[in-house]
């Protein structure tokens, strides 16, 4: 399906660009411009559909440097037997086989033509005349050139006016390297034989080559040169990949020779293709970023890849995972005066809501916020779906938003925006309600937490422990589940949850079950102190059909 979509985009792109050429540039005297334009059509048509530039979806914004520790992706493959192949499988296979056979035939035909020319070179009388080689052979019926070789028939005289013009014509082909263009187009039309516009471009490019050679070889003798073309019109064309002096259609060649008037808006015709090319590029290259916002936050595209503890590469559990060095921040974000000052600030500013105190409402509120490059606290919000209510969340948000500027995080001298997590516990002791600041949950530390035995041991543990849910197998459901959890100061896992769009059918529940059953980790440390660290573990469930 992806190949069909790509092929359709290639055909659409080449169709639009060739249509512009046919309407605005064809049969004009700027032949060199037309030559490079036709070549670029093929290159742009092949490359543009491959470019994918994600655009934020639906007005959602994600801080460009919001990162957390993320483990390598663990893949669970479940092999299931299918009783019979899908009928579409045979259709796809048939289409691929037909495409491959036709492409193979065309490439073989090209190789045969090249082989025939090489045999002709070996059996010809070669006279080196830098920068080309002059080859005479009795089998040559009309002059033609191929790369640095000019092939000449024994009946044509080099001393006659027509012979000199033909030689000049072939020399232009050699100097301008027209054979390179022809070989490129022959290969492309063999591989992309299904694209009719590539064949039109190849034919048009061959004519442009002739226009360039005619224009330079004719000089001031336009009438005599045109007469020479007409007289030799019916000579045979031996090879399709060579540059022949007597190349049809003759009418257009003579028209280009005798057309001295510069077309109107010549410069404008050439530059108007730029907005068309920009429109095609934007239409095909820019795509909506369909990833869930939570995952876009975890894996920011193209920003600070060196700061990711692991940049979510795929690692099969059956293959040993190669250990990688972890890159950490030079300095994390800090409250003015440090953690002790943060605790003092919160204890002085938090006011236990009266309604919560009267009702006896208590519990923990976790606030997630961004400390940006200027140290400002931004995007503060509640983490978790279960709210305590009675104003506790609102009070916690109020105090966090009122914080003074922090010292921003740094990496190699550059200030960065980093997410912070602050748990605040509201409790009532006796008759007095109090709020307790829980230990901070770090997103970056000097030494991140590790699974005992390393990543290879974790891969083995998951491959042995995870069981593909039967419901997911029955419905052929697969996908990646991101499990986010906190590793506390003793290495225990807590607060495990999934982030991103829900796959369902038991995948999330199985991923959380296995994560919470993990043995104790080696806790993360920061400034020689064990701390709580937020961690992300992507687990990919895949089904292999037999």
Q: In whole angstroms, give the CA distance from residue 11 to residue 276.
A: 16
> Pick from 395, 275, 296, 378: which is nearest to 55 by CA?
296
Q: Count Cβ atoms below 10 Å from residue 294 Cβ, excluding itself.
A: 15
pLDDT of residue 308: 33
pLDDT of residue 2: 77
Prediction pTM value: 0.52
Q: Count Cβ atoms below 10 Å from residue 349 Cβ, excluding itself.
A: 14
Strand partners, 134: 127, 150
Work out the pLDDT band at 117, boundaries 50, 70, 90: very high
- Is 294 or 82 the better-scoring residue by pLDDT? 82
Model confidence at 79: pLDDT above 70: no
Work out the pLDDT band at 295, boundaries 50, 70, 90: very low
> Pick from 128, 137, 143: which is nearest to 173 by CA?
143
The percentage of the chain sitting over the pLDDT mark of 70, rounded to a whole number, equals 78
The CATH classification number of 339-426 equals: 3.30.2420.10
DSSP strand pairing (493-499 vs 73-80): unpaired
pLDDT of residue 15: 94
Q: In whole angstroms, give the CA distance from residue 100 to residue 94.
A: 10
The mean pLDDT value for 40-68 works out to: 67
Model confidence at 5: pLDDT above 50: yes
The mean pLDDT value for 356-379 works out to: 85
Model confidence at 89: pLDDT above 90: no
pLDDT of residue 301: 36
> Which range is most confident: 63-72, 86-95, 245-254, 297-306?
86-95
User: What region does 280 belong to: left with phi over 0, alpha with psi -120 to 50, or beta?
Assistant: alpha
Lowest-pLDDT range, 91-105, 240-254, 271-285, 453-467? 240-254
- The percent helix, strand, coil of the chain (3-state, each to 5) is 45, 20, 35
Lowest-pLDDT range, 28-32, 241-245, 403-407, 514-518? 241-245
The percentage of the chain sitting over the pLDDT mark of 90, rounded to a whole number, equals 20
**pLDDT, tens only, 165-186:** 888 888 999 999 999 999 999 9
> Which range is most confident: 21-25, 182-186, 266-270?
182-186
> Which range is most confident: 183-187, 412-416, 515-519, 530-534?
183-187
Instruction: Tell me the domain boundaries of the chain.
Output: 1-55+91-123+177-223+248-257+266-289, 339-426, 450-541
The mean pLDDT value for 48-63 works out to: 63
> Pick from 117, 123, 149, 150: which is nearest to 137 by CA?
123
- Is 204 or 217 the better-scoring residue by pLDDT? 204
Strand partners, 534: 486
Model confidence at 47: pLDDT above 80: yes
Lowest-pLDDT range, 106-120, 265-279, 395-409, 499-513? 265-279
**pLDDT, tens only, 215-264:** 888 877 777 787 777 766 655 455 556 565 555 577 788 888 777 666 66
The mean pLDDT value for 70-87 works out to: 50
Lowest-pLDDT range, 7-21, 81-95, 158-172, 316-330? 316-330
- Is 100 or 545 the better-scoring residue by pLDDT? 100
The CATH classification number of 450-541 equals: 3.30.2420.10
Model confidence at 304: pLDDT above 80: no
544 close to 460: Cβ distance less than 8 angstroms: no
pLDDT of residue 276: 86
Q: Quote the DSSP letter at residue 353.
A: -
Model confidence at 375: pLDDT above 50: yes
pLDDT of residue 463: 81
Q: How many helices (H) and strands (E) are present in the chain, helices listed first?
A: 17, 21
Model confidence at 343: pLDDT above 80: no
pLDDT of residue 389: 80
Model confidence at 412: pLDDT above 60: yes
Find the helix or strand (DSSP H, E) in which 54 lies.
strand 53-55
Q: Quote the DSSP letter at residue 390.
A: T
Kindly give, in sequence order, each residue whose CB lies less than 8 Å from that of residue 232, ignoring residues fewer than 6 positions away. Answer: 142, 162, 245, 246
- Is 437 or 526 the better-scoring residue by pLDDT? 526
Tell me the average pLDDT of the chain: 78
Please count the residues of the chain.
Answer: 546
Kindly give, in sequence order, each residue whose CB lies less than 8 Å from that of residue 231, ignoring residues fewer than 6 positions away. Answer: 162
Work out the pLDDT band at 291, boundaries 50, 70, 90: very low
- Is 39 or 289 the better-scoring residue by pLDDT? 39
- Is 142 or 103 the better-scoring residue by pLDDT? 103
């Amino acid at each position: 399906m992806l190949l069909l979509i790509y092929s359709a985009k290639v055909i659409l792109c080449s169709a639009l660009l060739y249509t512009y050429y046919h309407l605005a540039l064809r049969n004009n005297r700027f032949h060199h411009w037309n030559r490079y334009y036709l070549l670029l059509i093929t290159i742009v048509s092949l490359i543009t559909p491959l470019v994918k530039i994600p655009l934020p979806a639906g007005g959602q914004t994600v801080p460009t440097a919001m990162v957390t520790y993320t483990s390598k992706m663990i893949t669970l493959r479940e092999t299931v037997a299918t009783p019979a192949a899908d009928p579409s499988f045979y259709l796809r296979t048939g289409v691929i086989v037909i495409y491959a056979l036709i492409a193979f035939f065309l490439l073989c035909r090209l190789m045969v033509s090249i082989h025939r020319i090489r045999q002709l070179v070996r059996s010809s009388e070669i006279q080196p005349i830098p920068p080309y080689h002059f080859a005479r052979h009795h089998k040559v019926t009309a002059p033609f050139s191929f790369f640095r070789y000019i092939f000449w028939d024994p009946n044509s005289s080099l001393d006659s006016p027509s012979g000199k013009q033909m030689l000049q014509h072939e020399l232009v082909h050699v100097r301008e390297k027209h054979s390179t263009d022809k070989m490129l187009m022959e290969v492309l039309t063999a591989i992309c034989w299904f694209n009719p516009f590539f064949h039109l471009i190849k034919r048009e490019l061959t004519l442009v080559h002739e226009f360039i050679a005619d224009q330079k070889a004719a000089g001031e003798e336009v009438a005599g040169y045109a007469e020479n073309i007409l007289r030799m019109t019916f000579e045979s064309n031996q090879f399709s990949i060579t540059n022949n002096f007597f190349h049809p259609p003759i009418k257009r060649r003579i028209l280009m020779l005798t057309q001295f008037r510069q077309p109107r808006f010549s410069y404008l015709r050439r530059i108007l293709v730029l907005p068309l090319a920009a429109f095609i590029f934007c239409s095909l290259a820019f795509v909506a970023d369909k990833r869930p916002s939570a995952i876009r936050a975890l894996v920011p595209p193209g920003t600070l890849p060196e700061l990711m503890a692991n940049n979510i590469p795929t690692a099969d559990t059956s293959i040993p995972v190669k250990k990688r060095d972890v890159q950490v921040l030079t300095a994390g974000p800090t409250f003015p005066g440090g953690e002790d000052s943060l605790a003092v600030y919160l204890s002085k500013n938090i006011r236990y809501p009266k309604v919560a105190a009267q009702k006896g409402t208590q519990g923990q509120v976790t606030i997630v916020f961004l400390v940006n490059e200027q140290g400002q606290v931004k995007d503060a919000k509640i983490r978790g779906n279960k709210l305590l209510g009675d104003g506790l969340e609102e009070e916690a948000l109020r105090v966090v938003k009122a914080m003074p500027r922090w010292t921003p995080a740094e990496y190699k001298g550059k200030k960065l925006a980093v997410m912070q997590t602050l748990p605040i516990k509201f409790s009532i002791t006796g008759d007095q309600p109090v709020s307790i600041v829980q230990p901070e949950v770090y997103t970056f530390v000097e030494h991140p937490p590790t699974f005992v035995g390393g990543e290879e041991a974790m891969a083995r543990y998951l491959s042995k422990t995870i069981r593909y849910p039967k419901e997911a197998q029955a419905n052929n459901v697969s996908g990646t589940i991101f499990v986010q959890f906190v590793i506390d100061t003793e290495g225990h896992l807590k607060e495990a949850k999934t982030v991103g769009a829900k796959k369902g059918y038991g995948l999330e529940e199985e991923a959380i079950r296995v994560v919470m059953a993990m043995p104790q980790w080696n806790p993360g440390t920061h400034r020689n102190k064990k701390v709580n660290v937020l961690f992300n573990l992507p687990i990919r469930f895949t089904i292999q059909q037999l």
